[in-house]
Structure 1
Amino acid sequence: MRAAVPSVPAVLCGSAGLLLLLLRWRRWRGLWRKVKEARERQERGLEQMDKAARSFRQQHPSVNMVSILSLSLPELSKKIQDGSLPPEHVFYAYLGKALQIARETNCITEYMEESETQLQHTKPGEKKGLLYGVPVSIKDSINCQGHDSMLGFVKNIDKPVAEDSVLVQVLKRQGAIPFVKTNVPQSLISYDCSNLIFGQTCNPLLYTRTPGGSSGGEGALIGGGGSILGFGTDVGGSLRFPAAFCGICALKPTGNRLSKKGVISGISGQKSVTAAVGPMAKDVESLALCMRALLCEDMFSLDSTVPPLPFNEEVYSSTQPLRIGYYETDFFTMPSPAMRRAVRETKQLLEEAGHTLVPFELTNVDYSVYNLCLRGMFADGGATFLKNFEGELEKGSLGVFLWLAKTPNWIKTLLSWITKPFVPRLSNVIRSMRANTVEELWSLHHEIEESCHQFIAQWKKLNLDVMLCPMLGPALLIGYPAKLSVAVSYTMLYNSLDFPVGVVPVTLVTDEDEEELKNYRGYFQDWWDRTLAKAFSSAEGMPVAVQCVALPWQEELCLRFMKEVETLVTKKNMIV
């Protein structure tokens, strides 16, 4: 019997399929080559840091690096300004320490070698900005001329930007020396810190915990002592999570108090939930010095959309007693025992210091999370976010989320309806991911404005100056943030409202907290609540923070309140 001869169409189809597979394989091989090159560049940068730091130590063996690293930013800046501490001593002290923390936590993606050139051009006697000679670290998504802003995407490798962001331009004009860029999670829309290119960043205080995100590299580097001042962004807590998880301070300003020109967003064009760029440092006074430096004529002239509001020293330095609202829970994400204790103990310290504490009743947070925050972030059904992942090698931990973004509205509606009786929170998340019409989006924007006015009206009715709020903590185990997107409720609320918020560490997790955590059930007693309890566990000794909130454009009052909290906690710890 004669064998069947394949038809011409079958041969052509088979050949086309084979060619398609070959082209796909070649493309994937090219992408992996780019990843390898980026990792090699990262390693070369670390080796260059090591070489430069060792060379300096050999030439200047008497320089006390430990002493330099122990100084606060105001102390360090003063010594540089008066000439008692050469800028190169500071630079190489932090270069060596940054290298150590990078090796331990994988927080640095790129060394900016031109920083050494900038240091050499720092001349005695020239006009000195407020940050003269201060080495600063920069989040990956903030543009620095000649360097990639990758956001964890392979497609962004080897695409150096042509111009510094306005923030970096102002920093340089104030004498600061940007010297490293730091790691972020793929897409930025996460409060962990991992991507395919550079891998996982660890918490410097405990390597099994996440440093937070999306400014996680900054949190790890500063928390480990490898940078004295750094900059990140925040659209749902991305400055505040790393600060709280790594035991440092951060300020999320009102969205437009500092320029975002040249700062890359995870979801370009999204305006419903307000993003902000802000500083991170070990203490509040460092943040205040930073804001003094940035709120200058250069900031306002380089970006005319930034209101020309210089730093209000009178408000920051005031000692008048404050009227402070507070709450222990948002009734959506049950606080861990340590979170609740952090608020209670801080409240007591503030009352003992002569401030008035007033209970604030937080209502409808679940509605805000689903219908204002999540729906606002993904008002196009996730289409813009989804485009970021086209052609990428890996989708990280966002597979289900991206599948949902691809799904038509009618399927989302059906899934939301099916899951509602069994997993109501999942049902609401699915529903909030529906694509909106223009009319629906405008209605949403109106609703966001109204919710802000109502919140302010409640604030004014109680005659409050500021607010004390919980901050998610302690740091979750690595990998858990991807499973617990609903836990952003404590932070994202203030992006929706566009209020300035600061984070201050106030306590550490105790054995008693751990024991009490065994009874943690959550408000919904669903899979998310059970998972959050696991993510919190075994964190004895890890820091826990509070949030300090002020009304829009009142960053100075926010910082003043943060400073008060920090001072009282420090005094208490000294007595203990």
Structure 2
Amino acid sequence: MTVWSKLTYVMPDSVRDMMESYELYTGIQNNLPNVLAAAAVLYAVWKLTNFVIIKRKLNKKREASKIQIQKAKAKWCEVVDSDSRITLEEVDRITSMNFADLTKSLKDGGLKVVTVVRAFQRKAAIENQNFNFICMPIDADDVEEYARELDAMPVSDRGSKPLFGIPLSVKENEDVEGYCATLGCTRRLGVISEKNSPRVQVLKDLGAIPFITTNVPQGLLSFSCANPIYGVTTNPWNAKREPGGSSGGEGAAIGSGASVFGLGSDIGGSIRIPASWNGVTGIKPTAGRISAVGRHTSSPGQTMVKATAGPLASTVDGLIMAMRAFSSKQMFLEDPSIPQQFFNEEELLSQRPLTIGVYYTAGPVEVCAAAKRAVKEAADVLASRGHKIVPYELRDAELCSTKFFPAAVFGDGGAHLVNLLYGDELSHDISPLIKLLSLPLLLKKALNKIISFAVVDYAAEVIKKNEGVASVNDWCILQRELQEYIHLVISDWKSDGIDAVLCPPMPVPAMPLGDPQLAKSAVSYCVTWNVLNFPAGVVPVTRVTSADEEADKKNFPPKDMFHRVLKRGLTDSAGLPMAAQIVTLPYHEELCLRIMKELESEVSFQPLQRPLHT
């Protein structure tokens, strides 16, 4: 059957009759190739014209919004910088306090809430000029009004608010009443949140004071932190380095001392990477334990690998307080759809000796000397506290990062993300991905074949998965395979008597700006636990030494393009923070926090000190 025959076969009779009456039928039949070519050209012109129109509208919208954002920030900075009630010496003293001491001083009246909030506002205003982690400051008058309400509470009543007076920074993808959750995407500018997310509201009800929203990478799927609305966030330990992502603004804010406590989210290391690279703590809870309402993602709808909200803090005490809040009656009232699993104080406070599995490398991604040393030092600390440390090998470790994760996140072939960013200015780290996802399926398959010859096998497998799942049946098969894999891993833990696992969160310290787009597979050490849906937390342990650098010059293998990028970033990395990752079975966050707290109490890691007064 010819092309024309196929067309006329599916053509309605009325259309065919009309064409015959105007003698179009014969004309088109005789000039079918030219007609199809003209139609293709017209379609291409229409698509291009439509793209240009949308792009211009988005550019205009973004530039107008950026002016408003800059004015709002300038006004906020003017207000907090002109406050003569607090000196830079007091700002340094307050913002350098650890979470437990700050909480105690606020509750017993040693510090006024208004003073503490203004100290962190001022610190944030100054440090933001260096590292650009603020998206929007929360209105200073609203913040001060709530702070005064708290100060007016009798000291005897303050125990009802566990987070009494603690300033809270919030990742920009969370709903905060009166502010946008753009995900760094121009199309979402002007979409104002009508109310706080359940997490923000519960933290606020328990005494925390939201005072800034923090930056994210465009579309959230990156461990860089840049977007065309709010710009590039950098690392407070070295401004030429990445802060991690996608909770990179949180990591930089807390790492610089501009916040003590923040709310992030994690689908592939988005809490743990910024925590480890900025020398702070963070925990990714079991997805499903905490409400997901009012938290925006770039892959909504898929439930195979779920994102979850979670806290970052200067110390583990902050994480414990956050998880208590997220497991409280107030949270269950805000979102009755989540399981009523209250915080298990007994598991947190238990002194039972544990069996902790440890691994230094997993799958094809090599680990630098400082990352191995951080895990080794953590293992030694835990062993000295009476825990049994045993070798652990994760079965089929590469499956999580090369098969299940990309297939789940890009199960729709990236359609939602592409539509969200259509016509938008693309940041450097996501531009290659969006261009690839935007291609027609056949061209995408052909290009993936070509790319597979230029990169290592495991990276090629990840690239292939962005084609999407072919059918609902394939999705169900993938889901079944994942569930079987999860049960096998849990069975391994039980048969080996393992209570927790200790491993690196990342194979390298904070990478140079721009490098993460060339080394996406580095997230494999975090992604594993998202796919398995095990809670995982990060504790800073040590810093890169010159001896580590020298060892990596000799021993870190530049075996492919991916590892050459990692090795390049190890140069001049001395002084950067390195962390260890603690993992426990699902819904055992309290055990994870217990081990993190024990580790934190023994290591000699010192947070970054950046005094404003000299």
Compute the TM-score of the two structures, normalised by the length of structure 2. 0.86
Aligned pairs (5 A) from 1:84-483: 84-113=110-139, 114-122=142-150, 123-125=152-154, 128-394=160-426, 396-420=428-452, 423=455, 424-436=457-469, 437-472=471-506, 473-483=508-518
Distance of 2:56 and 2:398 partners within structure 1: 45
My pick for the range that moved more, 175-184 or 380-389, is 380-389
**What residue is the counterpart of 2:583 in the other structure?**
549
Determine if contact 1:415/1:427 at 8 Å carries over to the other structure. no
Amino acid in the other structure paired with 2:525: Y
Q: Secondary structure at the match of 1:191?
A: coil
1:517 aligns with one of 552, 555, 558: 552
Q: Secondary structure at the match of 1:324?
A: strand
Question: 1:567 and 1:393, CA in 2 relative to 1: closer, same or farther beyond 3 A?
Answer: same
Question: 1:402 and 1:124, CA in 2 relative to 1: closer, same or farther beyond 3 A?
Answer: same
Distance of 1:104 and 1:168 partners within structure 2: 27
Determine if contact 1:332/1:489 at 8 Å carries over to the other structure. no
Distance of 1:119 and 1:571 partners within structure 2: 32
- Deviation sequence 1:381-417 (CA, Å, 0-9, x none): 2222221112313354333322332344444444455
Structure 2 spans left out of the alignment, 5+ residues: 1-42, 608-614
Question: 1:229 and 1:571, CA in 2 relative to 1: closer, same or farther beyond 3 A?
Answer: closer
Distance of 1:27 and 1:572 partners within structure 2: 49
CA deviation after TM superposition for structure 1 residue 149, in Å:
0.5
Distance of 1:572 and 1:283 partners within structure 2: 11
Distance of 1:46 and 1:285 partners within structure 2: 31
- Deviation sequence 1:122-176 (CA, Å, 0-9, x none): 3323664111211100000001011000111111112211121111111111111
2:78 aligns with one of 51, 54, 67: 51
Distance of 1:233 and 1:256 partners within structure 2: 13
Question: 1:531 and 1:314, CA in 2 relative to 1: closer, same or farther beyond 3 A?
Answer: same
CA deviation after TM superposition for structure 1 residue 219, in Å:
0.4
Matched, 1:487 2:522: yes
Question: 1:45 and 1:457, CA in 2 relative to 1: closer, same or farther beyond 3 A?
Answer: same
CA deviation after TM superposition for structure 1 residue 530, in Å:
0.9
1:568 aligns with one of 602, 609, 614: 602
Amino acid in the other structure paired with 1:432: K
Distance of 1:233 and 1:392 partners within structure 2: 24
Distance of 1:18 and 1:318 partners within structure 2: 68
Aligned positions, number: 558
Determine if contact 1:211/1:246 at 8 Å carries over to the other structure. yes
Q: Secondary structure at the match of 1:233?
A: strand
CA deviation after TM superposition for structure 1 residue 20, in Å:
10
Determine if contact 1:325/1:467 at 8 Å carries over to the other structure. yes
- Deviation sequence 1:438-492 (CA, Å, 0-9, x none): 0000111111111111111111111011110112131011111111111110000
Determine if contact 2:226/2:427 at 8 Å carries over to the other structure. no
Structure 1 spans left out of the alignment, 5+ residues: 1-15
- Deviation sequence 1:406-441 (CA, Å, 0-9, x none): 344444444455555553234312322232210000
Q: Secondary structure at the match of 2:421?
A: coil
Amino acid in the other structure paired with 1:182: T
CA deviation after TM superposition for structure 1 residue 29, in Å:
4.6
My pick for the range that moved more, 209-218 or 332-341, is 332-341
Distance of 1:216 and 1:119 partners within structure 2: 27
Distance of 2:314 and 2:74 partners within structure 1: 27
Compute the TM-score of the two structures, normalised by the length of structure 1. 0.91
Determine if contact 2:203/2:322 at 8 Å carries over to the other structure. no
CA deviation after TM superposition for structure 1 residue 54, in Å:
3.3
Distance of 1:159 and 1:266 partners within structure 2: 16
**What residue is the counterpart of 2:105 in the other structure?**
79
Question: 1:399 and 1:520, CA in 2 relative to 1: closer, same or farther beyond 3 A?
Answer: farther
Q: Which contiguous aligned blocks of 4+ residues in structure 1 show a shift greater than 6 angstroms?
A: 16-26
Question: Which structure: larger Rg?
Answer: 2
Distance of 2:183 and 2:482 partners within structure 1: 28
CA deviation after TM superposition for structure 1 residue 238, in Å:
0.3
Distance of 2:425 and 2:477 partners within structure 1: 37
My pick for the range that moved more, 127-136 or 17-26, is 17-26
My pick for the range that moved more, 389-398 or 491-500, is 389-398
**What residue is the counterpart of 2:29 in the other structure?**
none
Question: 1:158 and 1:124, CA in 2 relative to 1: closer, same or farther beyond 3 A?
Answer: same
**What residue is the counterpart of 1:3 in the other structure?**
none
Amino acid in the other structure paired with 1:349: V
Q: Secondary structure at the match of 1:519?
A: helix
